[in-house]
């Protein structure tokens, strides 16, 4: 959905009696315009979606029937400010589906998705609308601001990429394909949530704790059991099996791409990204995988030496070799020896509240913003905490929420999302965003507060980097504000923010012992930073392998996928994965970070043919951080330049134009390899 808003009077006039009490049809008289979660029920969503669709249809009719010649303001600008009800309801529905999911919520989301998909297709295939947009696009654009030019370009491309030039029969077929894709993606997510919950029931901990459990578990047989259960999610032959669903989604996407003139879905998806084409991505990933594979082989050698000691001590059978389920356990042993670093030493300094305080402190130190808690505001769950973010002059930048801990209703992973986007309303008022960070980090126990691992600390800073991108934005139009940038650019700012997590100046402000209040000792800080390049062969290999697997699936043609679907689907999915891993040279001791049947990023999120974005953006983020280091880490001029050019501009300019304005040069690909110790 496009990000939009409109004045509320029209809503009240069109609301039926049955909708008068629907919270989505009323003005939200709440602090900062936070959704009134306590007044919203499951029965409110679908009526609001239907009313919102009718509202936007009327608004679009008014645009298309305007007798005046098409202009940016009466066509593009008017469309940007349409659909208030839909923006309100979808902002709540899809956020809560991921955090407060359940059978009834999934049914609501499924019905809403079908309605919204059909509505979106009606807009994107509307030739009359496209004709007005094309007139503006083909005309002299010199009087438009650069942001307006980007909004216009994006809308024009959305028409051409979504079938506006197809004949009527082809459009009908494409609409059917879009509906099937949307339904299948919903089902994939529902299945994976069920599989994640089954994993927790079996082992007593959520999938988000898998790495830490594998690191500390001394029982090798149990490690193997956990590994096999974790890596076979969605691939168990039960009612939640995702194999056939994955192949269906891939085939539908390939059919869509072909209809729109592309050889594969990867080619279609990359056509409007920074990378532009699959070959560029394949070459990029190939170079990284070669370097990481070589490093990973060295890491296996080091771990095998430690395992051999356990064999000599009679703890393991003779001839035991490192297997995938051994990696985390023995890597930790090697790390303890090489760097004398045990996370049991560091966790006491990384209490959740302190880590979050550190992310806030870094943002204050670098960008001058202030963050303070607010109370007596609506919450969608008691675990949520809310903060007000203000600029140095006291002006409101936005509202920020955190929801860090796992629960059975929440999908796995960590992410940033918005309940409301930033934009300028009809009266020129700067509407500020409502942003949320969600995670599945280590929760408190009866005896301990929530103490985070080093990886979880980085996750907090990563997601807050996304939040800063959403909170600091200063755009006029919602479709380009905040994180609405090209997919292979968006991770630049989250990953950039990770660089501050363990800087000594930042650590001294937040890393204090949860019992004694002692600031983390300098020797532990040194150990943490010295160990940052440790195990990067593994970390990079599994990430790059997942990126390559994503690309190879989406480079398949309709014919390739039809053959897979007609034969043994389970064998075909496994054989394809094995073939891809062999061709990339992935060593046997490592599997892709996500295997096909639980690869939520590409089957139920926006990263299809785009998981490479994390590595692509890391080149930019590490190159930018090297610039900060060269100019002085806390150089106010450099920080202000970064904020103004990136965090405030959203998608209002092409990414590489902004990067060149900031850096004065093309990004150096070697920055990623240097940062990961892979040169």
Looking at the annotation, which residues are catalytic? 463
Assess contact for 564 and 247: CB atoms under 8 A.
yes
Assess contact for 355 and 459: CB atoms under 8 A.
no
Integer angstrom CA distances of residue 619 from 54, 291, 482, 640: 45, 15, 21, 21
Q: Is 390 exposed, middle or buried (0-12, 13-18, 19+ CB in 10 A)?
A: middle
- Residue 351 is given by DSSP the state B
Integer angstrom CA distances of residue 486 from 77, 269, 610, 613: 21, 11, 10, 10
Q: Is 416 exposed, middle or buried (0-12, 13-18, 19+ CB in 10 A)?
A: buried
Integer angstrom CA distances of residue 343 from 194, 251, 269, 455: 31, 45, 41, 10
The C-alpha atoms of residue 572 and residue 253 are separated, in whole angstroms, by: 18
640: CB partners within 8 A, 6+ apart: none
Of the candidates 599, 416, 423, 434, the one whose C-alpha atom is nearest the C-alpha of residue 497 is 416
- Residue 5 is given by DSSP the state -
Question: In this structure, what are the phi and psi dihedrals at residue 385, rounded to the nearest 5 degrees?
Answer: -120, 145
154: CB partners within 8 A, 6+ apart: 479, 480, 651
Assess contact for 50 and 116: CB atoms under 8 A.
no
Assess contact for 546 and 584: CB atoms under 8 A.
no
- Residue 348 is given by DSSP the state G
Question: In this structure, what are the phi and psi dihedrals at residue 436, rounded to the nearest 5 degrees?
Answer: -130, 140
Of the candidates 316, 258, 3, the one whose C-alpha atom is nearest the C-alpha of residue 155 is 3
Beta bridge partners of 420: 434
What 3-state class would DSSP assign to 445?
Answer: coil
């Amino acid at each position: 959905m496009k990000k939009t808003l409109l004045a509320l009077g029209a809503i009240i006039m069109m609301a039926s009696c049955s909708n008068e009490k629907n919270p989505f049809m009323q003005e939200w008289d709440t602090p900062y315009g936070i959704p009134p979660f306590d007044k919203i029920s499951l029965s409110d969503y679908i009526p609001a979606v239907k009313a919102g669709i009718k509202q936007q249809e009327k608004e679009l009719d008014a645009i298309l029937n305007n007798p005046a010649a098409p202009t940016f303001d009466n066509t593009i600008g008017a469309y940007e400010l349409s659909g208030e009800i839909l923006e309100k309801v979808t902002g709540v529905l899809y956020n809560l589906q991921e955090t407060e999911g359940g059978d009834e919520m999934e049914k609501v989301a499924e019905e809403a998705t079908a309605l919204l998909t059909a509505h979106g297709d009606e807009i994107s295939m509307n030739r009359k609308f496209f004709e007005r947009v094309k007139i503006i696009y083909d005309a002299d654009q010199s009087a438009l601001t650069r942001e307006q030019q980007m909004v216009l370009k994006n809308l024009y491309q959305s028409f051409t990429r979504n079938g506006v030039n197809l004949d009527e029969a082809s459009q009908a077929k494409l609409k059917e394909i879009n509906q099937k894709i949307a339904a299948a993606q919903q089902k994939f997510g529902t299945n994976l949530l069920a599989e994640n919950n089954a994993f927790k029931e079996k082992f007593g901990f959520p999938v988000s704790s898998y790495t830490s459990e594998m690191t500390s578990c001394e029982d090798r047989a149990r490690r193997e059991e956990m590994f096999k259960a974790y890596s076979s999610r969605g691939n168990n032959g039960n009612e939640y099996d995702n194999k056939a669903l994955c192949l269906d989604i891939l085939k539908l996407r390939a059919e869509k791409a072909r209809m729109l003139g592309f050889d594969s879905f990867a080619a279609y998806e990359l056509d409007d990204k920074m990378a532009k084409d699959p070959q560029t991505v394949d070459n990029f990933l190939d170079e990284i995988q070669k370097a990481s594979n070589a490093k990973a082989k060295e890491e296996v050698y080091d771990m095998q030496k430690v395992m051999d000691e356990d064999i000599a001590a009679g703890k393991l059978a003779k001839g035991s070799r490192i297997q995938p389920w051994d990696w985390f356990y023995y890597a930790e042993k090697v790390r303890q020896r090489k760097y004398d670093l045990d996370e049991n030493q560091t966790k006491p300094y990384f209490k959740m509240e302190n880590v979050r305080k550190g992310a806030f402190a870094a943002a204050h130190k670098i960008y001058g913003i202030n963050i303070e808690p607010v109370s007596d505001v609506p919450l969608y769950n008691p675990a949520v905490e809310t903060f007000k973010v203000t600029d140095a002059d006291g002006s409101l930048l936005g509202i920020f929420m955190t929801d860090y801990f796992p629960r059975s209703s929440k999908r796995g992973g960590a992410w940033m999302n918005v309940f409301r986007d930033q934009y300028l309303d009809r009266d020129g008022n700067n509407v500020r965003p409502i942003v949320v960070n969600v995670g599945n980090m280590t929760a408190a126990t009866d005896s301990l507060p929530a103490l985070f691992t080093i990886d979880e600390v980085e996750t907090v800073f990563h997601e807050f980097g996304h939040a800063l991108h959403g909170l600091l934005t200063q755009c006029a139009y919602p479709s380009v504000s905040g994180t609405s940038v090209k997919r292979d650019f968006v991770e630049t700012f989250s990953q950039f923010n990770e660089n501050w997590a363990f800087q000594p100046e930042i650590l001294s402000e937040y890393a204090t012992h949860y019992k004694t209040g002692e600031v983390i000792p300098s020797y532990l800080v040194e150990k943490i930073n010295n160990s940052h390049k440790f195990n990067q062969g593994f970390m990079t290999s599994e990430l790059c392998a997942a990126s390559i697997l994503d690309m190879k699936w989406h480079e398949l043609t309709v014919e390739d996928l039809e053959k897979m679907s007609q034969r043994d689907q389970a064998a075909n999915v496994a054989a394809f994965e094995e073939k891809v891993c062999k061709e990339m040279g992935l060593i046997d001791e490592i599997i892709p970070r996500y295997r096909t049947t639980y690869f939520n990023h590409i089957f139920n999120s926006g990263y299809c043919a785009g998981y490479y974005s994390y590595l692509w953006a890391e080149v930019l983020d590490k190159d930018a951080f090297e610039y900060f280091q060269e100019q002085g880490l806390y150089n106010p001029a450099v920080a202000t330049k970064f904020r103004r050019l990136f965090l405030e501009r959203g998608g209002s300019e092409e990414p590489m134009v902004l990067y060149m304005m900031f850096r004065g040069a093309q990004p150096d690909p070697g920055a990623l390899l240097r940062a990961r110790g892979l040169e």
